[in-house]
Structure 1
Amino acid sequence: MNKILVPLMTLYLLTGCSNITAKNNDLQIADALISIGEVSGTFDKQKINYEFTISGKGNVSIIDNSIEFVLTDWTNEKLIEHKTIEKSFHEDKILVKGYVIFDSKDLTKKDIIKNEPFINGVKIRNKNEEVILFKYD
């Protein structure tokens, strides 16, 4: 049963990644990939890997260290570790990768799924100190 959980959760989350909205005309979340699985052979912890691509058609200057992922309340309550592992800035896009490890002890697959989405969105600041929130549904 547990061997089925990880591939099913990954498939479920990957198919749910298309509902993305951004509240900015110059930048948008162009692509998002989220997967979930066990940590170190135990189902007491789950790891959410994420990769977001933010692209823009305008010339928006972003403060490099201002990219922040906004986690849901449920994810924050269960949070063990959250780390951004890569930020790549290119001429027309920003690629951000990271992971979240959360406590899943005594949770069933249904308990976890009913609390999706795990990430509310991405928050960044531009050079004018304006905060831009990209909501991820």
Structure 2
Amino acid sequence: MAISPARIFDALGDPVRRFILELVGAGELPAGAIVAAAQRFTSISQPGVSQHLKVLREAGLLTVRAEGTRRIYAIDPEATRAAREWLAALTVQPFAQPLDALATEIARGQRERRNQHPGKSIRDEPPGRDARYG
């Protein structure tokens, strides 16, 4: 099943769920320890914590395994990878292509000026004067 960044970030929208992830991020924890810590963090019932754990599991952020009668929760590294990749994609410079086009146009203009005035350097132009504009 592919992990959806949208579901991950929806799950992270709740402060109790973020708290639970911080707890479990330090290492695997049984459900009872998570409930006790969450109840110290905020007034929440055991069923409320269970619901948050379910949301985190369904978003792909937590894994759970049975150990006897206990349920042990851990961070799913695949989900954190998916979230990091999604966030990294936001840092790609959206202007890279337009700036490349601008560089091409500048080079084209310089080439045209050289072709119009062979032997004359662009540096020979007076400051602030563009040969194309008079």
Shorter-chain TM-score range: under 0.3
Q: Which has the higher contact order (CA 8 A, sep 6+)?
A: 1
Q: Rg: which structure is higher?
A: 2
Q: TM-score, normalised by structure 1?
A: 0.19
Bigger fraction of residues in strand = 1
Q: Per residue, is there more helix in 1 or in 2?
A: 2
